[in-house]
Chain A
Amino acid sequence: MIATLDSYSQVAIYSAMAVYVLSFIMFTLDLAKRSASKGELVGSRRRPFERIAFALVILGWALHVAGAVFRGFAQGFVPWANMFEFSLTSSAIVVGVFIFIQFWQNLKFVGAVVTAFALISLGVGTTNYYVPVKPLPPALDSYWLIIHVFVAALGTAFFVIGAALAFVQLLQARRESGKKSLTLLKTLPDAVRLENHSYFVNVVGFVFWTFTLIAGSIWAERAWGRYWGWDTKEVWTFIIWVIYAGYIHARATRGWRGARSAWLAIIGFSSVMFNYTVVNLFFKGLHSYSGL
């Protein structure tokens, strides 16, 4: 039974990856078309590639979530207890946030970045870190595993999109300052709007991150008897929190709006990725058993 469900999970994951590849291609074709459009803003009706790409993302995400759910049922606990499962579930959350954020603002132009992120995450996760279903180690047997890790992944998802927007904002600001740049930028929101969107998305991420930090401390107190011990993972969670706190202050600081705060968002996101990859895999610490 366990093996069957796990094999369903694998089939769903590989199918999701195939659909994401198609979606990524469609998103890039859309960007290419924007480049060729001489820069006039066109409504979504005139964007066939984007519409196909977004439909594919939804299909891919359904498969992706099914993959995570099968894995969860196969083992009888949440599918984010090791590196493979975390890469599986966190990328599903990233794509999910990307899909649902469209109800708030049309940010489909970062679709290529999001699908690429999901593909890399799933690709590396399945090939390098796949482990067969194992029982839950007693150290992770706590409802805080459900809360703490899930909210961390949710925060990460917002940071991914926030950083993508900050990156586009930088390109857009460059174009607006009269430098030679990509034509497709003319079809995207202006730098100030991008900055506002990026700020809002990152702030939501920051709130989740704060919650992750506190939930993690409460769990650490339950599990290890101290809520804070400067374990390497704790250190990096703290560093990320401080960088984003700086990012929020930058918005209220004269001379720090625009490019500088965009760079802070990108640095913050790089630290999140560093924490997720290098710290998980190469740094020694109490969180290391959750890695592989």
Chain B
Amino acid sequence: MRTALFLLLLLAIAAVPGSLVPQRSADPNGVVQYFEDNPDLAPILDTVQAFDVYTSVWFSSIYLLLFLSLIGCVIPRTMHHMKALRTKPPRTPARLDRLSGYTSIEATETDAATAVESARALLRRSGYRVRTFEGARAAGAPGDLSVSAERGYLRETGNLVFHTALIGVLASVGIGGGFSYNGQKVVVEGQPFVNVLNDYSSFNPGRFFDERVMPPYRLVLDDFRVVYERANFNAYGFPIDFTADVTVHIPGEKSYQDQVKVNHPLHVLGSDTFLLGNGYAPRITVTDADGNVAFTDSVPFLPQDANLTSLGVIKVPDALPEQIGMIGFFYPTAEALETGALTSTFPDLRDPVLSLNVYTGDLGIDDGVPRSVYSLDTDGMTQVAGGHAEADAIQLRPGEAVELPGGIGTVTFEDASDPTSGNSPTSGQADSVPRFASFDIHHDPSQGWVLFFAVASVLGLLTSLFIPRRRVWIKAVERAEGGIRLEYAGLARGDDPGLEAAVASLAERHAQQLGLKLSQ
């Protein structure tokens, strides 16, 4: 117990640093930021695995030691308990008056055999395991009959179930987690996601991950709908509901439509798809100086605030004669601030405006170094619009196109709403810019086991904490002057604050059953 207690308290202390310093597993960007903010301290912390506390050598060794001591405790206790389950209650002690809750009653109306038989029946009814004993009848000494009873074996069973289930949780997490994978994918309305490795934007496999286990299915994001609060002015523009309508295609089966919502993942072939983010993906077409279409795509812009002012990057590596890069802001409902800068005042599309800063030169992606699609390295480039360049930043509304400065090409902000749908000009804005959804796809075969063991541990905990384990004895001693003396006493096995009350209540019920008056 001392070891367990020590290791538990040590584990509690060891878990603290992981909440003070960002963790790579939970907050990878926080770790990057921490390195930038504390360039001297961060590498030192990193050498003691402070950014990976919960997989660190020191944290792992504490919980592994704890579980070792747990196993070392549970195995002998289980053996012992198995034996105890088959053992009958022990012989009644000679002197009960030293034990807890000792009570005695004098009785003349009944004899020892009747009293003990009725005690036996009473105890059995109360869930005790019972055994009767005949006391040694030494020459001249009064004889006695007694019943020895024990109950609450479930307490120890529950305790063992609890601790074994904890080992089960750890084993399921450790082993089952190795077969899991999760990945992220940004999908623009109308586009598909295919559950193969290359289609993920990012992917984290477990230790024993095998690509062949990935079920081949395809999701198409048909529509992404957001409902915003418009009635309550304290929360105007607050999102109330996100719905991703998808079509699921499974080879050899009929495709079907379904939904992914926050808190309602979509379950397809053993993996779950979660909706974790969304934003706008303006459809942009760029032609180069020669008039060829060098780029046309929907580009996800990352939301920067609650009104979805969004930041995005467009890279046009195929533009001739020079590559073109653009950093842009997208405002779903643009409003000019007093400074002239734009901002978004509502997250839905009321007056969508795209503003772009344009660069030409080398995008730095031809040498094979992987670059984020969400950032633009402008070191090797010349700014031609916006910032300090002569031309102002480009501003476009859906359906508008503009010539890029210096005749390097044109850029068009495509209106994605179907022109044939007959929308009136005012409502036409609503579909002019496609939305994207970012999905998290998880597959974790261990979670059912973890849940099973967690539930088992709670049930074990409840029985082990609230079922008392106790022994009680009821003894009928023949008195030399005639009649008998009934004695009652109990012994706590483990924590049992209710023992004395239980013995008293037994004595009372027994006396009642025999028709005796309680008189101490």
CB distance from A219 to the nearest CB of B (A): 8
With A200-B497, A207-B465 known to touch, is A235 a contact of B15 (CB < 8 Å)? yes
Q: How far is the CA of A249 from the CA of B464 in the complex (A)?
A: 13
Q: Are the C-beta atoms of B5 and A221 separated by less than 8 Å?
A: no
* Interface: B217 (CB within 8 A): no
Partner of B25 from the list A196, A218, A230 (CB cut-off 8 Å) is A230
* Contact A235 B497, beta carbon cutoff 8 Å: no
Q: A2-B232, A134-B235, A232-B19 are in contact. Are A246 and B54 (CB under 8 A)?
A: no
Please tell me if the beta carbons of A138 and B18 are within 8 angstroms of each other in the complex. no
Inside 8 A of B53's CB, which chain A residues have their CB?
Answer: 230
Within the complex, which residue of A138, A200, A246, A256 is in contact with B263, where a contact is CB–CB below 8 Å?
A138
A3 CA to B26 CA, complexed, in Å: 39
For B240, what are the chain A residues with a Cβ–Cβ distance below 8 Å? 135-136, 138
Residues of A within 8 A of B455 (CB): 214
Assembly CA distance A66 to B173 (angstroms): 44
Give every chain A residue within 8 A of B11 (Cβ-Cβ): 242
For residue A131, which residues in chain B have a CB less than 8 angstroms away from its CB? 234
* Residue A42 interfacial (CB < 8 Å): no
22 A-B residue pairs with Cβ-Cβ distance under 8 Å, sorted by A, are A134-B232, A135-B238, A135-B240, A136-B240, A137-B239, A138-B261, A207-B458, A207-B462, A211-B458, A225-B442, A226-B442, A232-B26, A236-B19, A238-B15, A239-B19, A242-B9, A243-B9, A246-B5, A249-B1, A253-B1, A253-B2, A256-B5
Using an 8 Å CB-CB cutoff, how does the interface string of A40-66 with B read, 1 for contact, 0 for none?
000000000000000000000000000
Q: Which residues of A contact B9 (CB under 8 A)?
A: 242-243, 246
Is A279 among interface residues, defined by CB-CB distance under 8 A? yes
Q: In the complex, which residue of chain B has the Cβ closest to the Cβ of A131?
A: B234
Instruction: Indicate if the CB atoms of A135 and B235 lie closer than 8 Å.
Output: yes
Closest 3 CB pairs of A and B: A134-B235, A246-B8, A132-B234
B376 partner residues in chain A, CB cutoff 8 A:
none
Residue of B nearest to A213 (CB): B454
Q: In the complex, what residue of chain B is closest to A251 when comparing beta carbons?
A: B495
Contact present for B265 and A134 (CB under 8 Å) = no
Q: How far is the CA of A196 from the CA of B465 in the complex (A)?
A: 13
A89 to chain B, nearest CB (A): 20
The reply to whether the CB of A106 lies closer than 8 angstroms to some CB of chain B is: no
Chain A neighbourhood of B274, CB < 8 A: 223-225
B-chain residues with CB within 8 Å of residue A176 when the two chains form the complex: none
Interface string of B476-510 (1 = CB under 8 A from A): 00000000000000000011010000000000000
Interface size on A, residues (CB 8 A): 56
Within 8 A of A (CB), among B440-460: 440, 442, 444, 447, 450-451, 454-455, 457-458
- Given contact pairs A235-B16, A279-B19, enumerate 7 new A-B contacts (beta carbons under 8 Å): A135-B240, A141-B241, A207-B465, A224-B274, A230-B23, A243-B12, A284-B22
Chain A nearest CB, measured from B306 CB (Å): 11
Interface flag for B262 (CB, 8 Å): yes
With both beta carbons as reference points, the residue of chain A lying nearest to B261 in the complex is identified as A138
- A228 contact set on B, CB distance < 8 A: 173
Q: Contact check, B458 vs A246: say whether CB atoms are below 8 A apart.
A: no
- The answer on a CB contact under 8 Å between A226 and B495 is no
Q: Is A217 an interface residue (CB 8 A)?
A: yes
A239: chain B residues within 8 A (beta carbon): 12, 15-16, 19
In the bound complex, what is the Cα–Cα distance between A139 and B451 (angstroms)? Answer: 22
B interface residues, how many (CB within 8 angstroms): 55
CB-defined contacts of A231 to chain B, threshold 8 Å? 26
**B190 interface residue per 8 A CB criterion:** no
Chain A residues within 8 Å of B, Cβ to Cβ: 2, 131-139, 141-142, 196, 199-200, 203, 206-207, 210-211, 214, 217-218, 221-232, 235-236, 238-239, 242-243, 245-246, 248-254, 256, 279, 283-286
B234 and A133 contact, CB distance less than 8 A: yes
Which of B182, B238, B263, B494 gathers the greatest number of chain A CB atoms within 10 Å? B263
Chain A neighbourhood of B42, CB < 8 A: none
What DSSP secondary structure best describes chain A's contact surface? helix
Cross-chain contact of A138 among B15, B234, B242 (Cβ < 8 A): B242
A196 vs B501: C-alpha distance when bound (angstroms): 15
Which residues from chain A contact B16 at a C-beta distance below 8 Å? 235, 239
Distance in angstroms between the alpha carbons of A139 and B262 in the assembled complex: 6
Q: Is the CB of B15 within 8 A of A242?
A: yes
Q: Which of A134, A141, A225, A256 contacts B234 (CB 8 A)?
A: A134
* A229 and B26 contact, CB distance less than 8 A: yes
For the complex formed, measure the closest distance between the CB of B59 and the CB atoms of chain A, giving whole angstroms: 10
B27 at the interface (CB under 8 A from A): yes
Chain B residues with CB under 8 A of A221: 447
Chain B minimum-CB-distance residue to A229: B26
Which residues from B are CB-within-8-Å of A196? Answer: 497
Q: Does B4 sit at the interface, judged by CB under 8 A?
A: yes
In whole angstroms, what is the CA distance A141 to B234 when docked?
A: 19
Residues of B within 8 A of A246 (CB): 5, 8-9, 12
Residues of A within 8 A of B262 (CB): 138-139, 141, 223
Q: Which residues of chain A come closer than 8 Å to B265, judged between CB atoms?
A: 222, 225
Q: How far is the CB of B179 from chain A (nearest CB, A)?
A: 14
Which listed residue (A138, A218, A229, A250) contacts B5, Cβ 8 A?
Answer: A250
Q: Given A142-B263, A252-B1, are A245 and B8 also a contact pair (CB < 8 Å)? A: yes
CB of B272 closer than 8 Å to a CB of A:
yes
A253 — nearest CB in chain B belongs to which residue?
A: B1
What is the distance, in angstroms, from B408's C-beta to the closest C-beta of chain A?
43
Contacts of B451 in A (CB 8 A): 218
Whether, in the assembled complex, B90 has its beta carbon less than 8 Å from a beta carbon of chain A, the answer is no
Q: Are B182 and A225 in contact (CB under 8 A)?
A: yes
A194: shortest Cβ distance to chain B, in Å?
12
Judged by a CB distance under 8 angstroms, whether B515 is at the interface is: no
| B46 close to chain A: CB less than 8 A | no
Contact indicator B447/A253 (Cβ below 8 Å): no
Q: Is B276 an interface residue (CB 8 A)?
A: yes
B22 contacts which chain A residues (CB < 8 A)?
Answer: 284
Residues of chain A with a CB closer than 8 A to B447's CB: 221, 227
Distance in angstroms between the alpha carbons of A206 and B8 in the assembled complex: 15
Chain A residues, Cβ within 8 Å of B232:
2, 133-135
Contacts known (A134-B232, A139-B262, A199-B495); A226 close to B444, Cβ less than 8 A: yes
Q: Which residue on A lies nearest to B455, using beta carbons?
A: A214
Q: Which residues of A contact B450 (CB under 8 A)?
A: 217, 227
Q: A229–B25 contact, CB under 8 A? A: yes
Complex interface bits, B172-196 against A, C-beta within 8 A gives 1, otherwise 0: 0100000000100000000000000
CB-CB under 8 A from B494, the residues of chain A are 252
With A and B bound together, what is the CA distance between A130 and B265 in angstroms? 32
> A261 to chain B: closest CB distance in Å?
10
